[in-house]
Amino acid sequence: MRRLARYLPILSWGRQYTRGALQNDMMAAVIVTIMLIPQSLAYAMLAGLPPEAGIYASILPIILYAIFGTSQALAVGPVAVVSLMTAAAVGQIAQAGTAGYVAAALTLALLSGLFLLMLGLLRLGFIANFLSHPVIAGFITASGILIATSQIKHVLGVSAGGATLPEMLISLFQHLGQVNLITVVLGVGATGFLYWVRKGLKPALKKLGLSDGVATIATRAGPVAAVVATTLAVWGFGLDARGVNIVGSVPQSLPPLTMPDLSPELLRQLLVPAILISIIGFVESVSVAQTLAAKRRQRIDPNQELIGLGMANIGAGFTGGYPVTGGFARSVVNFDAGAETPAAGAFTAIGLALAAVALTPLVYYLPTATLAATIIVAVLSLVDFSILRHAWAYSRADFAAVAGTILLTLIFGVETGVSAGVVLSILLHLYHTSRPHIAEVGLVPGTQHFRNIRRHDVHTDPELLTMRVDESLYFANARFLEDKILDRVTGDEAIRHVVLMFPAVNAVDLSALETLEALNARLDDMGVKLHFSEVKGPVMDRLRRSHLLDHLTGQVFLSQWDAVEALTPAVCLNGSGQPVRGADH
């Protein structure tokens, strides 16, 4: 039973479900449902899918996540970045608007769900950690720009295309002649209105004396107001006959049972995109879930989250949806509205199912320009160039990772961008650790402390060279250490002993071990003994399992003071003369 509860968190919270929690969850569900209707239609459009796909993708996935997920407040469904990635992946295989396109999106959801489920069952959630913050931040900013740019065509009423920023801009430019002015008025008007709602409405309402809670709800209702107003305008003035694109008829139906296309060729083509979508979606979802959980001193289990998201995506694949994940905006609304358990999600699913059956005729006259406006205003909050400034101030390598990911994503598209970003940040990390800080140290007079001879006035002896290594040793940096020491010793005939101080060496891999053995032999050829000091317990345990200590010409000292006392005792008798600085360095 406890084992089962691990994989079915609903068994834990479901048994303690109270009437108070039920009321809070239902209230939250009503608020989230109203917010999700236009959002679902908009993200489906962004993904190149018919509008109902967005609503279907929010129904069964939410229920499955409520059963298998661990976050109490996460709201699962279509999100902007995953919708863009879906469009990029499926767009390479089929033309938007065709049955093949819709079928491929189902397959993508299924594959993504199976991959997430596999990671979760194998407890491989840590894989997502290889997506560094600079790569995520750069990717999200670039995706926001790509998404906003992709929606400009709807605001202008033109039929431009393209998957990368240069392609989209060129295509928009080529289609400028088709611009529909009424669409522009509606689209730009809606964008301006929504932007004002987001930035200016809440302070204005609070000035009018409304409470913070009411002002927040009014602000969140902005997109619904824009939808209602522009729909009425199109219907009232018959603008659809004057070239304004509208959503049109949406089937009045519960989510259909769909069977994803499982042809091997399609699976092969969608495998890599599905993996990328899974990992990006998981990272976004987990970071939202962790933020919300910490506010209530709760914990989420990342591996169980993988299972929850995996089931949600599998559900999306079989019910006319497309890849989903835990969204930031909807989860925060859910949390703020007081959702206490995943049951709030289930109630939201019921609300959306009712909407799918009853309300879809109402969006017939909704202009796509309004949906584009809601997307543009929503994703502009993703665009954050301040990360570039922070990264530059903090470290050049991190800056390179952010800037590289942004540029690669904009120029080559989402898949290349995020893959190259991961490779870039791994290479930068390896490069950084491949040139470790290695300081020549001497004794601070009157103490037992050893410090860098370049920064401090310290005692040394010409026969003894002590180098402090400030990095774990592994294949990429071991030879750097060897070169540094051999260069130093070759030029200085006086040296008889080399001590490597290892207080910050947390690991020595086999390559580094062999390099240390080679260094020992080469120093021996020069008549110089090699010693170690302050080697950590786990590193020493490992060295004992090798032959290094058998062949070591020198000794291993517990402390550097012991080493100096044993090798060049004169240095320890300080006060007896002038400090001797390390030769010509």
Instruction: List residues binding a copy of itself (CB under 8 A).
Output: 126, 129-135, 290-291, 294-295, 297-299, 302, 390-391, 393-395, 397-398, 401, 425-426, 429-430, 432-437, 470-472, 474-480, 483, 486-487, 490, 503-504, 506-507, 509-511, 513-515, 518, 521-522, 525-526, 536, 538, 542, 545-547
Count CB neighbours of 540 within 10 A: 15
User: Tokens in use for 34?
Assistant: 């109203």
Taking the least distance from each CB to a copy of itself, the nearer of 90 and 512 is 512
Taking the least distance from each CB to a copy of itself, the nearer of 141 and 425 is 425
∠ at Cα 286 (282, 290), nearest 5°?
A: 180
Nearest approach, Cβ of 399 to a copy of itself (angstroms)?
8
Nearest approach, Cβ of 492 to a copy of itself (angstroms)?
11
Taking the least distance from each CB to a copy of itself, the nearer of 511 and 553 is 511
∠ at Cα 75 (69, 78), nearest 5°?
A: 110
Place of tokens 């000292």: 557
User: Tokens in use for 135?
Assistant: 């790569």
Nearest approach, Cβ of 490 to a copy of itself (angstroms)?
5
Taking the least distance from each CB to a copy of itself, the nearer of 433 and 553 is 433
Nearest approach, Cβ of 515 to a copy of itself (angstroms)?
8
Task: Report yes or no: 296 and 137 within 8 Å, Cβ to Cβ.
Answer: no
Task: Report yes or no: 93 and 105 within 8 Å, Cβ to Cβ.
Answer: no
Instruction: Identify which of 284, 337, 371 has the alpha carbon closest to the alpha carbon of residue 32.
Output: 337
The 3-state DSSP class for residue 439 equals strand
Taking the least distance from each CB to a copy of itself, the nearer of 249 and 490 is 490
Nearest approach, Cβ of 467 to a copy of itself (angstroms)?
15
Instruction: Identify which of 67, 35, 363, 92 has the alpha carbon closest to the alpha carbon of residue 217.
Output: 35
Taking the least distance from each CB to a copy of itself, the nearer of 242 and 544 is 544
Cβ neighbourhood burial of 253 (10 Å; 0-12, 13-18, 19+): middle
Helix (H) or strand (E) holding 407: helix 396-412
CA separation, residue 153 to residues 78, 156, 246, 416, 453 (Å)? 21, 5, 14, 24, 64
Instruction: Identify which of 218, 189, 191, 190 has the alpha carbon closest to the alpha carbon of residue 202.
Output: 218
CA separation, residue 46 to residues 21, 77, 152, 444, 504 (Å)? 35, 14, 11, 65, 50
DSSP 515-561: HHHHHHHHHHHTT-EEEEES--HHHHHHHHTSSHHHH-SS-EESSHH
Distance of alpha carbon 275 from its chain centroid, rounded? 14
User: Tokens in use for 580?
Assistant: 């001797």
Helix (H) or strand (E) holding 467: strand 464-469
Nearest approach, Cβ of 554 to a copy of itself (angstroms)?
17
Task: Report yes or no: 239 and 367 within 8 Å, Cβ to Cβ.
Answer: yes
Taking the least distance from each CB to a copy of itself, the nearer of 372 and 473 is 473
Nearest approach, Cβ of 423 to a copy of itself (angstroms)?
10
The letter for the amino acid at 129 is N
Half-sphere exposure of 59 (CA within 13 A, CB side): 24
Taking the least distance from each CB to a copy of itself, the nearer of 195 and 475 is 475
Task: Report yes or no: 367 and 61 within 8 Å, Cβ to Cβ.
Answer: no
Nearest approach, Cβ of 341 to a copy of itself (angstroms)?
18
Taking the least distance from each CB to a copy of itself, the nearer of 536 and 581 is 536
Nearest approach, Cβ of 398 to a copy of itself (angstroms)?
4
Helix (H) or strand (E) holding 113: helix 99-121
Taking the least distance from each CB to a copy of itself, the nearer of 507 and 570 is 507
Nearest approach, Cβ of 518 to a copy of itself (angstroms)?
8
Taking the least distance from each CB to a copy of itself, the nearer of 522 and 581 is 522
Taking the least distance from each CB to a copy of itself, the nearer of 17 and 475 is 475
Nearest approach, Cβ of 407 to a copy of itself (angstroms)?
18
Taking the least distance from each CB to a copy of itself, the nearer of 84 and 513 is 513
Nearest approach, Cβ of 7 to a copy of itself (angstroms)?
19
Nearest approach, Cβ of 508 to a copy of itself (angstroms)?
9
